Amino acid sequence: MADLSYNFAGIKSPNPFWLASAPPTDKEYNVVRAFEAGWGGVVWKTLGEDPPVVNVSSRYGAVQLNGQRMMGFSNIELITDRPLDVNLEEIARVKKNWPDRAVVVSLMVPCEEEPWKRILRKVEDTGADGVELNFGCPHGMSERGMGSAVGQVPEYVEMVTRWCKEHSDLPVIVKLTPNITDIRTAARAAVRGGADAVSLINTINSIVSVDLDVMAPTPIVDGKGAHGGYCGPAVKPIALNMVAEIARDPECRGIPVSGIGGIANWRDGAEFMALGCGSVQVCTAAMHYGFRIVDDMITGLSNWMDEKGYRSIDDFRSMAVPNVANWNELNMNYDIKARINQDSCIKCGLCHITCEDTSHQAITATRVEGARLYEVVDKECVGCNLCMLACPVDNCITMERVDKDKPYMNWNQDPRNPFSTAAE
């Protein structure tokens, strides 16, 4: 049996699956239910200074795709709207009752040293395992000079991180906003400020839909809507890229990363771990199905690790990082062609029409004694994968490697590149 326990920047948890700072971790009641279900840790919903914020009614919106609900999810909720003391008391009790689970507290106070110092002391008193600095919330709080308003200014990120490290012994995780041009600038600032870890991504600025009857963005609050924070399965590719950017950045080398963004099952989690993450955080999937999804996450990851012979998370963590390359490092001599397995072809014609209309006219459509036949024209096929991706039958279209005995040659070495560094 694989060992799923993980020590993330000094924060220990029996498995790497944490609930992200969000509504599911707003109260003792929810967190206890999560721990009962098996979650390895939680990041408690962001605490701020009293008086607590006030939330609006109508807070969430979602993108649905082909009958699948909540492919993308958006919220305009603020940080916790409960008094600070109530949260702190509950955090202390939960940590006391669940000593083996990770209890990290998310924080967001004004960008001044004193408020950070004050709140850190109070959190330390609860016995919590660490803090996560919420520099990412893109709505409501950012307009008050907090959240992503801090996260978008590297100097602020560094400054606040440094204050936290100075005023507390707790591990400090800096949560990064994706609403930024280059995620590495914020991550580097966190590293310079002494952060013990970073977590990403926070939600993305978004309007999930426009109600064409009301003529307003959703979720609608009395006829109007504000931009929200986007998350859920739809954002996973964006999160993976940002995680990879940090993982292979020399200035961020070795910084523990907690992955967040569309993680709904063990496989999603494993992908984030392959790109360097030590723990992963989940919210939307839990808000869709409830806490019991963690059972599949734990057993699925464990079974896959056993199958692969990985005994611990670190056995496979970061293994995909060296294979994340820059485009100009790719082998220009690599050549693949589409191959259609005529026995499994169901004659939907999508390979033909996508290639014919939108790509390289490399798949012909003919009839042989009335029967449809789709065939690849090797000469025209550039190996783009489009037909394989459009084909609804698994493994009906595969890509076959056809370059033979050609050496590795990247774009920098390619004679077709006007700026080539090739010898000739």
Partner 1 sequence: MVFQGHEAAIFAPLFSNMNMGVRVMSDIAAGRLSGEELAENFADIHPPLDAKSAHIEASRCYFCYDAPCMEACPTGIDIPSFIRKISTDNVRGSAIDILEENIMGGACARVCPTEVLCEGACVRTAQEGKPVTIGALQRFATDWLMEKGEQPFTRAAKTGKKVAIIGAGPAGLSAAHRLSQLGHDCEVFEALPKSGGLNEYGIADYKVVDNFAQKEVEFILGLGGITVHHGKKLGQELALGTLRNDFDAVFIGSGQGAVQALALEGENIEGVFNAVDYIADLRQTPDKSKLPIGRRVVVIGGGSTAIDIAVKSKRLGAEDVTIVYRRGAEAMSATDVEQKFAQTNGVKIKHWMQPVGIMSDNGAVSAVEFEYTKQGPDGKLIGSGEKTTIEADMLFKAIGQLFVPDPVSGTAAQLELKHGKIAVDDSYATSLEGVYAGGDCIDGNVGLTVAAVQDGKKAALAINDYLAKK
CB of 70 to partner 1, least distance (A): 15
- Considering only the stretches 49-57, 108-116, 118-126, 350-358, report the one whose residues sit in contact with partner 1 under the rule CB under 8 A: 350-358
DSSP 104-146: EEEE---SSHHHHHHHHHHHHHHT-SEEEEE----SSSGGGT-
Q: CA 9, CA 99: separation in Å to the nearest integer?
A: 17
Residue among 50, 51, 54, 66 that touches partner 1 (CB under 8 A): 66
Q: How many residues does the chain have?
A: 424
Q: Does 294 bind partner 1 (CB under 8 A)?
A: no
Q: Does 288 bind partner 1 (CB under 8 A)?
A: no
Q: CA 318, CA 276: separation in Å to the nearest integer?
A: 4
Residue among 52, 115, 194, 349 that touches partner 1 (CB under 8 A): 349
- At what angle are helices 266-274 and 236-247 packed, to 10 degrees? 30
Q: CA 48, CA 28: separation in Å to the nearest integer?
A: 17
Q: Does 223 bind partner 1 (CB under 8 A)?
A: no
Nearest residue (CB) to partner 1, 86 versus 393: 393
Q: CA 366, CA 340: separation in Å to the nearest integer?
A: 14
Please calculate the CA angle 64-282-14 and round it to the nearest 5 degrees.
Answer: 150
Tokens representing residue 116 in the block: 């950070």
Q: CA 129, CA 98: separation in Å to the nearest integer?
A: 12
Dihedral sign, CA of 17, 21, 22, 24? positive
Nearest residue (CB) to partner 1, 238 versus 353: 353
Site string for partner 1, 295-334 (x = CB under 8 A): ----------------------------------------
In sequence order, the β-bridge partners of residue 197 are 173
Q: Does 373 bind partner 1 (CB under 8 A)?
A: no
Nearest residue (CB) to partner 1, 226 versus 393: 393
Phi first, then psi: what are they for 8, rounded to 5°? Answer: -100, 105
Closest CA to 377 of 396, 359, 362: 362
Q: Does 365 bind partner 1 (CB under 8 A)?
A: yes
What ranges make up the beta strands (E) of 261-333?
277-282
Q: 137, 231, 283, 351: which one is catalytic?
A: 137
Residues touching partner 1, count (CB under 8 A): 13
Residue among 216, 238, 321, 353 that touches partner 1 (CB under 8 A): 353
Cα torsion 142, 84, 119, 96 to 10°: value is: -130
- Considering only the stretches 19-27, 84-92, 172-180, 342-350, report the one whose residues sit in contact with partner 1 under the rule CB under 8 A: 342-350
Span 381-400, contacts to partner 1 by CB under 8 A: 392-393
Q: CA 8, CA 258: separation in Å to the nearest integer?
A: 8
Residue among 1, 50, 67, 250 that touches partner 1 (CB under 8 A): 67
Site string for partner 1, 246-275 (x = CB under 8 A): ------------------------------
Q: CA 104, CA 94: separation in Å to the nearest integer?
A: 11
Give the gyration radius of the chain's Cα atoms: 25
Nearest residue (CB) to partner 1, 227 versus 372: 372
Nearest residue (CB) to partner 1, 226 versus 346: 346
CB of 398 to partner 1, least distance (A): 17
Residue among 33, 93, 192, 372 that touches partner 1 (CB under 8 A): 372
Nearest residue (CB) to partner 1, 61 versus 256: 61
The yes-or-no answer on residue 137 being catalytic is: yes
Please calculate the CA angle 256-278-94 and round it to the nearest 5 degrees.
Answer: 100
CB of 346 to partner 1, least distance (A): 4
CB of 342 to partner 1, least distance (A): 12
Residue 307 neighbours by CB under 8 Å, 6+ apart = none
Residue among 2, 198, 200, 350 that touches partner 1 (CB under 8 A): 350
CB of 221 to partner 1, least distance (A): 25
Task: Give the three-class secondary structure for 67.
Answer: coil
Nearest residue (CB) to partner 1, 149 versus 386: 386
> Which positions touch partner 1 (CB under 8 A)?
66-67, 346-350, 352-353, 365, 372, 392-393
**Residues recognised as catalytic:** 137
